[in-house]
Amino acid sequence: MKKHYILLILVSLITLSFVGFYKWGMRPMMQNVVLLSSEMKGDYVVSEMSFVEINGVELWVTIRGTDKKNPVLLVVHGGPGKPQTPFQRRYDARLIEQFTVVHFDQRGSGKSFDAITDSSQWSISQFKRDTIAVIEYALTRLDKKKLSLVGHSWGSVLGIEVAYERPDLLHAYIGVTQLSHLEGFPDFSLSLYGKEPKVAKRDEKIGLFLSPDYSKSDIKRYHKGFSQSVKNLKTDSMSVDIRRDFVSFDIPIYFLLGRQDLAVSSDISAIYMKRIIAPEKRIVWFEKSAHFPFMEEPKKYTDVLVELLY
């Protein structure tokens, strides 16, 4: 599967540089290659992608894994407004062999772009309620009592709060490039990729282009969703002081931090970890990663999660 993606990326780079992003009629064929490359086989495979009613709105939820008996991992994406669902077939390739992985597009972003029905819903409390409801849906759907929760970047704000408030639903919490104070993210108008290696921004563009799960209109929603999420969640997000309000936990807490991260201060996250009281806590450093360890060191990312959660 890795060889297929490398070939697709090389062809995409050449093609996009000459004919533009949306004008290439070969996209459906390449999407089909991605589908075939990411196909799972076996008696216990789970592969579901659909809109699910969550707190009165339709959110896009995906559940994928090679064996439904495996532990469940639910990912809360960053941004705000940057879903991981269009990229999961590539970056979750190893992960779904060890876990049943659940993703969802938060309201107002990606395929859930239209799920904001009132301006009052742009709040951390609403997004947190959505996250809890998706967890409960996944547990019921998969007949599990608990799962492990991953929060990436902005998603780690929601994740750490859910871990604090609803430990009864969770085995453990994993903060990937964990935020500890939103002052460390001073300019929400900038893309998270603005100061990161060019490979991250390139991978986003190509990943969206190749994704068989995102139509052209979904890609437009993806970009619009990021802009509107940043704009509308900025004020509420800046009022959160995670270091002050969320210190004592009833479940294990793990941080996966990129040593080269320029979007979030890993050193500040490490200081926050020192304050945390939990049955077990640990920091794992990704020396070759910046803000996206699951993209930049995918093998190590999977290996670490297996070590921590099995």
In order along its 310 residues, the chain shows pLDDT tens digits of: 555 555 555 555 555 554 455 456 778 888 888 888 888 988 889 999 999 999 999 999 999 999 999 999 999 999 899 999 999 998 999 999 999 999 999 999 999 999 998 899 999 999 999 999 999 999 999 999 999 999 999 999 999 999 999 999 999 999 999 998 765 454 433 434 434 456 567 778 888 999 999 999 999 999 999 999 988 988 887 778 898 899 999 999 999 999 988 888 889 999 999 999 999 999 999 999 888 899 889 999 999 999 999 9
pTM: 0.89
Return the sign of the alpha-carbon dihedral for residues 62, 263, 156, 125: negative
Residues 149, 12 share a domain: no
Return the sign of the alpha-carbon dihedral for residues 176, 178, 182, 186: negative
pLDDT value of position 136:
98
Residues 103, 135 share a domain: yes
Could you tell me if 64 and 40 are in contact, meaning their C-beta atoms sit under 8 angstroms apart?
yes
Residues 167, 22 share a domain: no
Quickly tell me which residue has 């190749």 as its tokens: 210
3-state secondary structure (DSSP) of residue 200 = helix
CATH number (domain holding residue 91) = 3.40.50.1820
146: which 2 tokens? 């608990």
Give me the number of domains the chain comprises. Answer: 2
Residues 47, 6 share a domain: no
Number of C-beta neighbours around residue 39 at 10 A? 11
Burial class (CB in 10 A: 0-12, 13-18, 19+), 270: middle
Number of C-beta neighbours around residue 239 at 10 A? 8
Residues 108, 8 share a domain: no
Domain hosting 199: range is 43-309
